[in-house]
Amino acid sequence: MTVQYFDIAILGGGNAGMTLAAKISSKTKDKKIVVFEPQKANTKSATWSLWATESEISILKPFIKGQWQKWKIVTHNSEIIHKSTEHSYIAIDSSKYLKSYERSLDKEVTLLPYHAELCSESDETIISADNKIFKSNLTFDSRPPELMRDGLKQHFIGWEIETEQDLEDIDTVTLMDFTVDQSKGIHFIYALPLSKNTILVESTMLSNHVEKDVWYESSIKKWLDVRDISIKKHLRTERGIIPMHKTKQRFSKVINIGVRGGAVRLSSGYS
């Protein structure tokens, strides 16, 4: 069996993996780099949100789909609104971001559309993908981590919708609205008004067990109904499961990054 050699291997071409590949390739031109990612960037329909300064916003501007300087947390007893002139809360289109970073990669970076598995390590890491063997001197792993069956998770389903009527208060993000069903775990609605007629609404829960899709979807419908928001068009659906527990390190010489590397804060689900 033919063995292919690389200086650096990156398993997973999501946010962490693709950003790292782009940064390394921009700093050095003499390293052979391979990125294993089975899913095409244009099929990764997700919204990444973060607080950003003006300088960061200028870099991310081509990918920004929403920007706010006010955000709120809602309970049955109160509504707390925070605002900042130094940091904005922004939402990024993941597909646009990843496609742009793919295009920026140096010719020494090889993108392979394969699922990859780590086999062993010594002075080099041995990787198996598409019935082929690869070896690398330095390996980064950003694949989704294994979930503990009974471990705490943050899990969600989100709908991006076009509304029949204009939305109110579109300059404020709802980070957490706890005025929803709490019978299954810590549950809140996360809502990003992207325009006067477009909003992303996510039903998010912290618990040990993931529910059936209908549970999250029903929560979204109820939240919209209470606010008299009618759906004109369902644009797309997002879903995710984020471990809120520590992940295992299988290989001592492989560097875990992204969610696998513990980038997510266990207290909030933000990274």
Label each residue of 157-184 as H, E or C: EEEEEEECCCCCCCCEEEEEECCCCCCC
- How large is the average pLDDT for residues 125-153? 91
Q: How far apart are CA 216 and CA 208, in angstroms?
A: 15
Q: Is the pLDDT of residue 91 over 90?
A: yes
Look at residue 124 in the predicted model and tell me its pLDDT: 81
Question: Coil, helix or strand for 195?
Answer: strand
Look at residue 271 in the predicted model and tell me its pLDDT: 64
Pair type for strands 33-36 and 3-11: parallel
CATH fold, domain 47-92+148-243, is: D-Amino Acid Oxidase; Chain A, domain 2 (3.30.9)
Give the model's confidence band at 96: pLDDT under 50 very low, under 70 low, under 90 confident, else very high: very high
Look at residue 190 in the predicted model and tell me its pLDDT: 98
CATH fold, domain 3-45+94-146+249-256, is: FAD/NAD(P)-binding domain (3.50.50)
Instruction: Give the start-to-end residue ranges of the domains of the chain.
Output: 3-45+94-146+249-256, 47-92+148-243
User: Is it true that 3-45+94-146+249-256 and 47-92+148-243 share their CATH fold?
Assistant: no
- How large is the average pLDDT for residues 4-14? 95
Sheet with 47-52, side-by-side order of all strands: 47-52, 88-93, 64-68
Q: Is the pLDDT of residue 225 over 90?
A: yes
Contacts of 109 (CB under 8 A, 6+ apart): 21, 25, 33, 34, 35
Q: How far apart are CA 56 and CA 87, in angstroms?
A: 10
